[in-house]
């Protein structure tokens, strides 16, 4: 506001606003330093490089962005170390468990080889089977007691079967043509 009105008496701590950019009496190193002592919480004197109460050196100021960045990097490092430790524990525990021999037939690639479909078609086929199971599950979980509920259940069945049909068609379209 002082630069709008002419001949305004200037406060002693402000530089005149209408003059060209005044050079700060403090060096850039001092202006980037902390405002208060971290030891005794006393505010530093202007241009001081040490606390006039406890004699502690004046540290450099730390911005909020630097504080957040420090917390972020420490948090990421902690999460990475925790994930590695959990992974090691899980891997060592997993190898201690013995599964029956027939469990190998439930492996994804074993079933895929048995069915004889490429991966994308096999995934679409499995989704289609899940949708058929959903249509059957609607019948098992919901019982109609009036006409409105019966119609709602039929619509759910139709939706599940429509999704199954779309998934089976996608599986057919994703199947690679055989050489023959």
Give me the helix-helix angle, 119-141 and 147-174, nearest 10°.
Answer: 170
The structural domains of the chain, with segments of one domain joined by +, span: 6-61, 64-96, 102-174
The per-residue pLDDT for range 5-24, each reduced to its tens digit, is 555 555 555 555 544 444 44
- Label residue 168 by pLDDT band (50, 70, 90): very high
Average pLDDT score over residue span 31-59: 76
pTM for the model: 0.45
Burial environment of residue 131 by CB neighbours within 10 A (0 to 12, 13 to 18, 19 or more): buried
């Amino acid at each position: 506001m002082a630069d709008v009105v002419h001949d305004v008496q200037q406060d002693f701590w402000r530089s005149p606003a209408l003059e060209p950019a005044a050079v700060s009496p403090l060096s850039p190193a001092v202006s980037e330093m902390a405002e208060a002592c971290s030891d005794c919480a006393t505010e530093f004197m202007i241009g001081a490089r040490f606390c006039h109460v406890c004699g502690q050196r004046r540290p450099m100021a730390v911005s909020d962005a630097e504080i957040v960045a420090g917390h972020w990097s420490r948090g990421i490092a902690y999460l990475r170390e925790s994930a590695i430790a959990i992974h090691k524990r899980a891997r060592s525990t997993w190898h201690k468990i013995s599964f029956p021999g027939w469990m190998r037939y439930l492996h994804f690639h074993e079933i895929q080889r048995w069915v004889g479909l490429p991966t994308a078609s096999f995934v679409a086929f499995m989704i289609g089977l899940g949708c058929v199971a959903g249509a059957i599950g609607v019948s098992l979980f919901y019982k109609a007691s009036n006409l409105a509920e019966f119609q709602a259940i039929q619509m759910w069945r139709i939706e599940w079967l429509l999704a199954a049909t779309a998934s089976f068609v996608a599986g057919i379209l994703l199947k690679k043509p055989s050489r023959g």
